[in-house]
Amino acid sequence: MQFKKAIVTTLCALSLSFSAANQAKSDFKLPDLGTSAVQVLPIEKEQLIGDVMMMQIRSGSPLIQDPVLDEYLTTLGNKLVASANDVRFPFSFFWLDNKAINAFAFYGGHVGVHTGLLAQSDNESQLASVLGHEIAHVTQRHLARRIQQAKDNSALTIAGLITGILATVIAPDAGMAILAANSTQASLSQLTHSRKAEQEADRFGMQTLQRAGYDPYAASEFLTKLAAQVRFQNKPPAFLLTHPLPESRVSDVRLRAQQYPKKYVPSSADFNYAKSRVMARYHMKEADAQAFFENELRTSSALDNSALEYGLSIALLDQDKFEQAEKIIKKLLASNPNNLFFLDVYTDIKIGQEKYNVAIELLESKHELRPNNQVITLNLANTAIKAKQYDKAEQLLRVFLLDKPEHVLAKQLLTDTYKLSDNKAAYHEANASLLSHYGAFLKAADEVQKALNFVEKEDEIKRLRLKALLANYRNMQKELAKL
């Protein structure tokens, strides 16, 4: 699916995330962080703070809604989480469309990865080493400890801490400049990982990396790469602005890696496909991407050039060169007919050619084998929408959202489905749910009020449910105001 950019809005800056099943509740409260009795931030409060921060990111950052890349990152991230120590809750991973080399983690197990990190990783072990490091920051509760420190600092509020951390992890150079100009040194120190925290994250992260089957030496390779950039560039990589890199740290990581046997760990095919996708769709203009991949294919001596061919097919597709793109992707699909990367591009080609039924027939056969896989399901639903098969799209998306109620792209597609099918009551209710993910609870309440106007008078149950939802959104807005 061609969702190049995030759903970026200018909606409210702070919010909480709630599943569809919980949206009718009216008893939720934001965590009370002012009581001195809380010496260590409880897990449930840490998760709520993470939800607040995630909503702020959704409302103002270039998130990528790309099911194929999401599937890859989530699979890789969960493989690492399964090998990590002290995991207390599920993790979630997401992409930001940003060419800077950076990744960050915050309260509640949310891990953000810049596309630039993947583009600049030489192999999958290097990418995994950074994710393992960020996972360790969460499992060792380095950010959670800052709440207690902040409470002992009268100059720093919790709301200020949340905003400051978001500013520095998403745009570290800009965030640090703002803080240096407007905040105390004490607050600035809260927003950068300490050397002790970095050492701890390096140690636990490397353990995770090795247990998950990746090369532990990749961690030192990646830090060495960043250190070289510091020497030869005026502006250091974004990652280093929030993750200090003294000379001793590189040597410490290198020595720690030597505790493990050296082994060759080849990158997965999906890593190579994901990297080509990022280069073609997010880091280059279409014509430049075509020239890049054509040149790489001419000069490559590798036995398997499928990742380069895949990148070229995307570059051609994005220039509406459907026949050329299809020739490449059909060849790739013939060798690997269940590959999600290939199926996604093939679907987009058929949509571009307006041959919707061809894509639907193929995707339906794959959906029977892998029901509710996000790449197959959302591509199938999107194609059904293009083919004006709204009942099919609605059914697919409603079932999908039962399993993944927080999936923003699925909610957007369902909202589009209701709008195009002229189901006004369902459209306004779905749009309210979507707006709530961005913290726009007053706008969400307005949408519920509009939905009520289209409910049949005899449908009292639906009317009562919508009124409860209306009250809940208004209550959420009052809770957010307390920040």
Residue with the larger pLDDT of the pair 279 and 438: 279
Confirm whether residue 198 is marked as ligand binding: yes
Q: What would the pLDDT profile of 21-72 be if each residue is shown by its tens digit?
A: 334 333 444 444 333 323 556 777 777 777 777 777 777 778 899 999 999 9
Is there a domain that residue 3 lies in?
A: no
Do 454 and 446 meet the contact criterion of CB atoms below 8 Å apart?
no
The C-alpha angle with vertex 200 and arms to 202 and 192, in degrees rounded to 5, equals 90
CA distance 187 to 160: 9
Higher pLDDT, 377 or 46: 377
3-class state of residue 421 by DSSP: coil
250 and 310 within one domain: no
Instruction: Note whether residue 207 is domain-resident.
Output: yes
Residues 195 and 310 in one domain: no
Domain assignment present for residue 400? The answer is: yes
Same domain, 142 and 81: yes
Of 202, 296, 318, 344, which one is the catalytic site residue?
202
Which of 3-12, 18-27, 247-256, 298-307 tops mean pLDDT?
298-307
Q: What is the CATH number of the domain that holds 463?
A: 1.25.40.10
Domain boundary among 195, 229, 257: 257
**Whether residue 314 sits in one domain with residue 248:** no
pLDDT digits (tens, 9 = 90+) for 193-225: 566 777 788 888 889 999 999 999 998 888 888
Is the same domain home to 253 and 378? no
Residue 293 lies inside a defined structural domain of this protein: no
Residues 314 and 427 in one domain: yes
Q: Are residues 161 and 68 in the same domain?
A: yes
Q: How far is CA 229 from the centre of its chain?
A: 26
Residue listed under structure tokens 């099943």: 21
Shared domain check, 318 and 445: yes
Q: Is 428 annotated as a binding residue?
A: no
Pair (249, 308) in one structural domain: no
User: Do the domain assignments include residue 287?
Assistant: no
- Among candidates 122, 127, 103, which has minimal Cα distance to 193? 103
pLDDT at 263 over 50: yes
Q: What is the pLDDT of residue 139?
A: 86
Chain segment 360-376, per-residue pLDDT in tens: 999 999 999 999 899 99
Q: How many CA atoms lie within 13 A of 225 on its CB side?
A: 17
Same domain for 247 and 389, yes or no, is no
For residue range 397-456, list pLDDT tens digits in order: 999 999 999 899 999 999 999 999 999 999 999 999 999 888 888 999 999 999 999 998
* pLDDT tens-digit series, residues 312-344: 999 999 999 999 999 999 999 999 999 999 999
Do 54 and 194 belong together in one domain?
yes
From the candidates 46, 71, 124, 134, which is the catalytic residue?
Answer: 134
8 by Cβ neighbours in 10 Å (0-12 / 13-18 / 19+) ranks as middle
DSSP per-residue string spanning 245-308: --HHHHHHHHHHHTTS-----PPPHHHHHHHHHHHHHTSS-HHHHHHHHHHHHHH---S--HHH
Q: Which domain holds residue 102?
A: 20-257
Q: Are residues 239 and 375 in the same domain?
A: no
Q: Is residue 127 scored above 90 in pLDDT?
A: yes
Residue 202 known to be catalytic: yes
What tokens does 58 get? 């959704």
Residue 46 belongs to a domain: yes
| Residue 392 to residue 409: CA distance in whole angstroms | 17
Residue 430 in tokens:
């779905």
Per-residue pLDDT tens digits for 59-116: 777 889 999 999 999 999 999 999 998 888 889 999 999 898 888 888 788 899 999 9
Contacts (Cβ under 8 Å, ≥6 apart) of 469? 23, 24, 429, 432, 448
**406 given a catalytic annotation:** no
Helix, strand, coil percentages for the chain (3-state, nearest 5): 65, 5, 30
Question: For the chain, what is the domain count?
Answer: 2
Indicate whether 291 belongs to any domain.
no
Checking phi first, is residue 194 left (phi over 0); if not, alpha (psi -120 to 50) or beta?
beta
Q: Which of 124-138, 143-157, 339-353, 384-398 has the lowest mean pLDDT?
A: 143-157
Record the pTM. Answer: 0.83
The answer to whether residue 106 sits within a structural domain is: yes
